Structure 1
Amino acid sequence: MTIPSKPEVVKLSGAVQHYDWGGMTFIPQLTGVENPEGQPFAELWMGD
């Protein structure tokens, strides 16, 4: 296995799952997303 001299950085995008048991502030603050509707942010799914 060869390790590249400059590792590639991959930008990930996330999708939020809104479930009743989610919180109102942590994920919005983490991602810089506004939450004016006051929806619960339960999970943040990451991928590319």
Structure 2
Amino acid sequence: MLRGRIPPRASGIVKEWASLHQAELRAAWDRARRQEAPGKIAPLE
């Protein structure tokens, strides 16, 4: 997020999801940097 605010509860959910999917996020970022589709990452359940 570059600007603005997100409610604390939503922020916590996003942080939890990101911590559970760190490796997938890094792999998606690497693919995007190579001009490839980043792919999908499962939502928080």
Q: Same fold (TM over 0.5)?
A: no
Question: Which structure exhibits the higher relative contact order, with contacts defined as CA atoms closer than 8 Å and separated by 6 or more residues?
Answer: 1
Using the size of structure 2 for normalisation, the TM-score is: 0.27
Task: State the structure with more CA Rg.
Answer: 1
Decide which structure has greater helix share.
2
Decide which structure has greater strand share.
1
